[in-house]
Amino acid sequence: MAKSKTIRVTPNLQKCLEELKDAVKSMRAGDKKKRAEGAISYLSRTFKGVKQPGQGSLCPPKTFIIKP
């Protein structure tokens, strides 16, 4: 793993995020869509430079993000 905790947002990453946003629009309402929207929101904030809660090591309670 890199020593820097900075994520470099390349045009490829930005395009992938846009593709994910488009894909989620076509999903039916439900838990999977809600989780996908939460993951996209989290990525969008991270790409904008917003600090991750707990330095990205723990998932904050009651948030919709993908967990391993």
Say if 37 falls within a structural domain.
yes
Q: Is residue 66, in this structure, part of any structural domain at all?
A: no
Q: Which residue has the higher pLDDT, 11 or 5?
A: 11
Torsion of CA 41, 61, 35, 12, to 10 degrees: 40
pTM, two decimals, is 0.70
pLDDT digits 0-9 by tens, 37-49? 988 998 898 888 8
Residue 60 lies in a domain: no
- The band of 65, judged by pLDDT with boundaries at 50, 70 and 90, is low
Contact 24, 37 (CB under 8 A): yes
> 24 versus 59: which is more confidently predicted?
24
At position 54, the amino acid (one-letter code) is G
- List b or e across 11-26, with b for residues whose CB sees 16 or more CB atoms inside 10 angstroms: eeeeeebeebeeebee
Residues 57/31, Cβ–Cβ less than 8 Å: no
- Residue 23: give the domain boundaries: 11-49
**Total of domains in the chain:** 1
